[in-house]
Amino acid sequence: MDAGPVLWVLSQVLELESVRRGRAKPMSGVMKRMGMIFRAKANKALDRAEDPRETLDYSYQKQLELLQKVRRGVADVATSRKRLELQLNQLQQQSSKLEDQGRKALALGREDLAREALSRRAALQQQVTDLETQHATLQGEEEKLTLAAQRLQAKVDAFRTKKETIKATYTAAQAQTRIGEAFSGISEEMGDVGLAIQRAEDKTAQLQARAGAIDELLASGALDDQSGMHKDDIQAELDRLSGGTDVELELQRMKAELAGGPSAGQQAIEGGTGQQQSQQQPQDTPRFDKQ
């Protein structure tokens, strides 16, 4: 099996026979043990090579592969983040649409319809909150991976220079120590970055599965999309009630005017204008309670 750079690194992180063999004394803390594990990994890889100088080229290849993988990781996370932003936008638009519908339904005296619109909106807000949390997570991952890529790039460049110097200057026997020095530093970085990229991939995969589910919801019309192609049932009912032209609202306003005296008429007119404004200003709700 040809393991990718991460698996290669991980398999070495977890390959610990040489740790057991080389263990001088019991390690009492987390950070000491971790340090040992990483060192053992580097030594193990070095032991395996016939000519230590070959290890340099092989490791350099792995470093470049890992660097590519990290860059792809950054791009993947960014894509997921943008997709999430798009969905958040859609959900928020849908949410304010439901709020408007609720207001309109109330104005038409259909409290049941208004309640339905608002409870759908509450469910939607829950989704929005979830997505916002995920968005923050992804942003964090993106930042971490970007920095990791920068660090790894700097080390890979330094390693390349050192590698060429060692190959040009030393015999295989002499090179051993020099290589050991350069190699353990970079291999430690690779182990660290390898784990980081794997964690980021896991997180992204989880989030993508959820994003896919939300896309399906949006596409199915369960959450009405913004294309205006299909209207939801609440909108259909509102359109039916108002004949699509706010006739019903106008009628109610007139009725109120006729039924009451001049003052009632005045109120109704205010109510009417309030209704107009509320199309743009959702916070005007209380005005419709008197309907």
> Binding residues for another protein, per CB under 8 A?
13-14, 16, 19-20, 23, 26-39, 42, 144, 148, 150-151, 154-155, 157-159, 162, 181-182, 184-186, 188, 192, 195-196
Residue 183 or 288: the one with the smaller Cβ distance to another protein is 183
* 94 Cβ contact partners less than 8 Å away, ≥ 6 residues apart: 124, 223, 224, 225, 226
* 221 Cβ contact partners less than 8 Å away, ≥ 6 residues apart: 230, 232
Q: How far is the CB of 148 from another protein (least distance, A)?
A: 7
Residue 34 or 259: the one with the smaller Cβ distance to another protein is 34
Q: How far is the CB of 192 from another protein (least distance, A)?
A: 5
Angle at Cα 284 formed by Cα 283 and Cα 286, nearest 5°?
115
- C-alpha of 280 from chain center: 32
Residue 107 or 179: the one with the smaller Cβ distance to another protein is 179
Q: How far is the CB of 171 from another protein (least distance, A)?
A: 21
Q: How far is the CB of 72 from another protein (least distance, A)?
A: 18
CA–CA distance, 225 with 36 (Å, rounded to integer): 55
How much is the CA Rg of the chain, to the nearest whole Å? 32
CA–CA distance, 125 with 94 (Å, rounded to integer): 10
Residue 157 or 239: the one with the smaller Cβ distance to another protein is 157
Residue 125 or 170: the one with the smaller Cβ distance to another protein is 170
First to last CA, the chain: 73
Q: How far is the CB of 157 from another protein (least distance, A)?
A: 7
